[in-house]
Structure 1
């Protein structure tokens, strides 16, 4: 699989490449680390989408998101597609 220039620049911009971000993430539970990794592609996802992509139960994803939000590693906003849902993304 080849990596395009766009893919490389996206990876370079990832908050997961920031040492301070990684150090904070290191102290969190494995579920929070997995959720952060799923969010790494910078595409905002809902809690349900995160559960589907990470294969974690909804309750575990909610706990992981709460921990990530407490540490200011993740933020949320209302979805443009469905204003009843919130989507989550990593904070750069």
Structure 2
């Protein structure tokens, strides 16, 4: 098993018991690398409040990392955290 596969398995295990909205947000980030909260809401068709809750849960489980956008410091960018 490669390091990436092991990281994917670990991430999957941490996401397994989270709400469906958090799983959907994680899956969308898996395919899109980096998105803002509003882009996630648009991609998932979830209300912004639900996306915010999902991101908080994912951050608690260390599945998602966030950083400030260099182009707009009011926005945060979210990516999946792959600890390989």
State the Cα distance separating 1:24 from its structure 2 match. 1.0
- In structure 1, stretches of 5+ residues that fail to align are 1-12
Query: In angstroms, what is the RMSD of aligned CA positions?
Result: 1.9
SS in 2 for 1:41: helix
Q: What does 1:37-76 align with in structure 2 at a 5 Å threshold? A: 37-76=27-66
SS in 2 for 1:87: strand
Matched, 1:77 2:67: yes
TM-score (structure 1 length as normaliser): 0.78
TM-score (structure 2 length as normaliser): 0.85
State the Cα distance separating 1:44 from its structure 2 match. 1.2
Structure 2 counterpart of 1:36: 26
Runs of 4+ in 1 over 3 A off after TM superposition: none
Give the number of aligned pairs. Answer: 79
Greater Rg by CA? 1
- In structure 2, stretches of 5+ residues that fail to align are none
